[in-house]
Amino acid sequence: MTVAVTIDQVGKSFGTGPAALDNVSLEVRPSELVALLGPSGSGKTTLLRIVAGLEQPSHGRVLFDGHDALSVPVRRRGIGFVFQNYALFRHMTVAENVAFGLRSRPRAELPTETEIRSRVADLLALVQLETYGGRFPAQLSGGQRQRVALARALAIEPKVLLLDEPFGALDALVRKELRKWLRELHDRTGHTTLFVTHDQEEALELADRVVVMGKGRIEQVGTPDDVYDRPASATVFGFMGESSRIEVEVKDGVAHAGTTAIAAATQPVPDGPGLLYVRPHDVSLGLPGTPGLKGEVRAFRRHGAIRRVEIGVGSALFEADIAPTVRVPIGEPVAVRLDRARLFASGGPGVDCRAPSAQQTGEYAI
Ligand code: ADP
Ligand code: MG
């Protein structure tokens, strides 16, 4: 059983102050795994709680398969919910926790004890905790507890699964493992799932589509490739992993940092102030005299598998990722090539850039 979720012009205000949600609309397809990604305070939890029925919107509609869900009481909505802080019942065993939703059903729908036991065994197998039914939450690791929480949410055969930063409290390695595990679980069970996270890597890796939120609004909805490769706004770009953000002045389609031309827009953009975003792995360095902008190494540090170098070009500062075997003395002149950069001019949509021509820069031209 899997349903489409329609969020239609939903707004929510808590007393005075800016709205927590400002006319949010979103279509989630049956069996889709959608990540709500955004900084703290952007309204992710509020939206999830409204879909769950734990909160009423100030206005707007929520539909499950085209039917109004807001008039359906929480218990009847068919929602499986998992929060960040494994809200397991501490005095109950793992098996009792998982069975809780089944045992709370109205008398007419109450499964027999044998059915409950068999369903709990199936669910514990699904979350790979077959032998843990008799333990108490305190005897589990954080990751195991979240898997129990998920089994408990799945026990009622929910129409929609809502996960609010379910791995937020876990360490990085466990998070990564659970991410992969959740994706596989979703592919097997196919519940329509809304997954909240502030971790872009998690959202990109897990989701069929990513909804990027900022200040109560949806900034962009798209596939992981859409939001990463074609960010619709500077906010979205800035949120998609590490990048250098350079204040530029745009003139005739060319972005200048101070007096230095550093990038040329591939589409028409208005003149005026703009922001240029570049990711460290999209910057390559060459020897002086090779094509590129004239830059200078300012600093470097080890960053996992690569070495990250800070380079000054005119008044701009870029970060570039290079092989750790390459020597980069501070103060060394280098040719800097921006393999990819995105320009947001005067609030307009983002456009891709290429290197400015030799005439535009006058630097290191072949
Ligand atoms: P997120 O989950 O993205 O961090 P939230 O949905 O929790 O964001 O919060 C969005 C905004 O709504 C925040 O400004 C928060 O302070 C406010 N907010 C959330 N819940 C309440 C509440 N119960 N009462 C008052 N303000 C709230
Ligand atoms: Mg939240």
Whole-number CA gyration radius for the chain: 25
The confidence score (pLDDT) of residue 366 equals: 35
pLDDT of amino acid 365: 41
User: Looking at the CA of 42, which ligand is closest?
Assistant: 1
Q: How far apart are CA 264 and CA 121, in angstroms?
A: 61
Which residue bears the tokens 């540090």? 301
What whole-number distance in Å separates Cα of residue 191 and Cα of residue 1? 8
Per-residue model confidence (pLDDT) at position 109: 84
- The Å distance, Cα 95 to ligand 2 centre, comes to 28
Residues lower than pLDDT 70 in the chain: 86, 347, 358-366
Question: Phi, psi (5° rounding) for residue 262?
Answer: -115, -20
Residue 276 to residues 160, 213, 247, 285, 338: CA-CA distances in angstroms? 40, 21, 6, 18, 11
* Most ligand 1 atoms within 8 A of CB, residue of 45, 56, 195, 239 to mutate: 45
Q: Which amino acid is at 290?
A: T
**Of 52, 26, 68, 14, residue with least CA distance to 222:** 26
- Calculate the CA dihedral of residues 228, 234, 235, 237 and round it to 10 degrees: 20
pLDDT at 347: 65
Which residues is 7 bridged to in the sheet?
A: 26, 62
In this prediction, residue 185 carries a pLDDT of: 87
Q: Is 53 helix (H, G, I), strand (E, B) or coil?
A: coil
Q: How far is CA 234 from the centre of its chain?
A: 16
Domains of the chain, each with CATH number or no CATH? 5-232 (3.40.50.300), 242-354 (2.40.50.140)
Residue that has been written with the tokens 């990751």 in this structure: 143
Residue 211: per-residue pLDDT: 98
Kindly give, in sequence order, each residue whose CB lies less than 8 Å from that of residue 126, ignoring residues fewer than 6 positions away.
Answer: 151, 154, 185, 188, 189
Q: Are 119 and 155 in contact (CB under 8 A)?
A: yes
Ligand 1 test: best mutation among 13, 46, 84, 215, most atoms within 8 Å of CB?
46
d(CA 166, CA 2): 21
